[in-house]
Amino acid sequence: MLDKRSQWNNDYNEQGYFVIRDFFSDVEISSLRKVILKFHELWKQDNTAFYEEVAFNSSLITGSKYLASNDRVTLFNFISSKKIMNIVDTVIATKPAFMNTQLFFNPVNPQLKDFWHRDCQYDHDVDVQKKVIHETQVLHLRVPLFDELGMELVPGTHKRWDNEEEFNIRQEEKGRASNEDLPAGKKIPLTAGDLLVFSADMIHRGLYGLDRLALDILVFDSAGDFVDYVDDDCLPDASMLKKIDDPRLFTNTLYLKSLT
């Protein structure tokens, strides 16, 4: 019988994801929700047209634009908490590094439909995508703040290329649309308190509906070439680092930045 960490690691390697039910307490989620809602309200006011017309997420939540230093420290301590680091260390054994955060919500515009993608498709053309899915991938840790329909994933696609139907749908080729159903799609409904860990490069989509508001924490292996994706303003400064119990997720990123 495998222990929990080996089981999570096996699931991640084989399927590209795992989910832990009731991972966070009500107290942990309500204090996180308070900070995130503050960000979300200010972000919406500042991005009204974008929010109403095309948005389904925001990013840079830990940055200085909308949150004061004490709230940012709360977020940094949540992101690098013992609980989360235990999971991160399970999947990325050496020098995991913080990349960014994103906040996913329901689009206001009803024409926007939940769409299949691999995150790498926005940075690379198809030939390169075929290569990068066999290299180090970015880890998403999804923390739903309210109950949601969750994510739909195609298990195993973090390590294999698309079949013809998956490719045509994801890339909207041959008259197919990226919101069509995929036969191998596995729906993972989530409730507040659950944690979903998945590979950014597997074929996936968020499922719109209910009151979804989910914080995604993005982490990478220091061995991967991802440091250019990190915005300096989303990292803690020297005075904040002193207030973070275990800052290595951030100091690993700061070290990589210092080399560039």
Ligand X SMILES: O=C(O)CCC(=O)C(=O)O
> Smaller CB distance to ligand X: residue 92 or 200?
200
Among the listed residues 193, 206, 236, 247, the single contact to ligand X using CB under 6 A: 206
56 touches ligand X (CB under 6 A): yes
Among the listed residues 188, 216, 221, 247, the single contact to ligand X using CB under 6 A: 216
166 touches ligand X (CB under 6 A): no
Q: CB neighbours of 13 closer than 8 A, spacing ≥ 6?
A: none
| 3-class secondary-structure state, position 2 | coil
Whether the CB-CB separation of 241 and 250 falls below 8 Å is answered with yes
Among the listed residues 24, 51, 104, 250, the single contact to ligand X using CB under 6 A: 104
119 touches ligand X (CB under 6 A): yes
Among the listed residues 76, 99, 137, 140, the single contact to ligand X using CB under 6 A: 140
Which of 158, 166, 171, 169 minimizes the C-alpha distance to 184? 166
169 touches ligand X (CB under 6 A): no
Among the listed residues 29, 200, 203, 227, the single contact to ligand X using CB under 6 A: 200
> Smaller CB distance to ligand X: residue 32 or 207?
207
147 touches ligand X (CB under 6 A): no
> Smaller CB distance to ligand X: residue 23 or 104?
104
Output 222-228 pairs: Cβ under 8 A, ≥24 positions apart.
222/94, 222/95, 222/96, 222/97, 222/252, 222/256, 223/94, 223/95, 223/136, 224/135, 224/136, 224/137, 224/138, 226/97, 226/99, 226/138, 227/97, 227/253, 227/256, 227/257, 227/259, 227/260, 228/260
| Residues of the shown chain interacting with ligand X in the complex, contacts defined by CB under 6 A | 56, 104, 119, 140, 200, 204, 206, 216
